[in-house]
Copies of this chain bind each other. A is one copy, B any other.
Amino acid sequence: MPRAGLTPVAVVDAALELLDAGDSAPTLAAVAGHVGVAAPSLYKHVPGASGLRHLVALRVIGELTARLRAAATGRSGDDAVAALLHAWRDYVLAHPHRYAAMPVQPLGDPDLARAASGMLDVVLAVLAGYGLTGQDAIHATRRIRAAAHGFATLEAQGGFGLAEDASESYQGLIDMITASLQ
């Protein structure tokens, strides 16, 4: 039995591929099959199914943070907020199952908490451009996060059944948010 040359990174890659292929909850057996290995062999690389989910979550939150940071750099004010929100939605639509694999509550795990805090920092940096700091900034990030997360989640799961253009709805959401930041 030749070695497959697996690493934790490769296992997470495989899980992400399955997620992108439409499998909303890949099992260990599926991931193992995808990399050409028997299921128990994965335990040599990742700490079980929940551990793999955790690694996937870390990867996804890092990816999303990078996208948001890239979108916000070089912009400010309403322009930056719009870029942030578009990047957020684009990511969710491009990788709906990856996004769904990201836990809402990253506390309790130091790695995830750090990653989430990095994401928060991006938003806070944009809000600083409005002169928003301290508690006001926190309340504003919650508005942004609630709206973006809610919209993206609903849209990715097919929650907007009616014919109206979701992009138009999203533009309205963005306008609503930027108006609340003045």
A86 near B: Cβ within 8 Å?
Answer: no
Chain A interface SS verdict (over half): helix
**Given A159-B105, A179-B176, are A169 and B143 neighbors across the interface (CB < 8 Å)?**
yes
User: A147: which B residues are within 8 A, CB to CB?
Assistant: 143, 146-147, 150, 173
Residues of B with C-beta under 8 A to A138: 162, 164, 169
Query: What range describes how many residues of A lie at the interface?
Result: 35 or more
Q: Please report the C-alpha to C-alpha distance between residue A17 and residue B119 in the assembled complex, in whole angstroms.
A: 37
1/0 contact string of A167-179 vs chain B (CB within 8 Å): 0110011011101
A160 at the interface (CB under 8 A from B): yes
What residues make up the interface of A, taking CB atoms closer than 8 Å to B? 104-107, 113, 135, 138-140, 142-143, 145-151, 153-154, 157-162, 164, 166, 168-169, 172-173, 175-177, 179-180
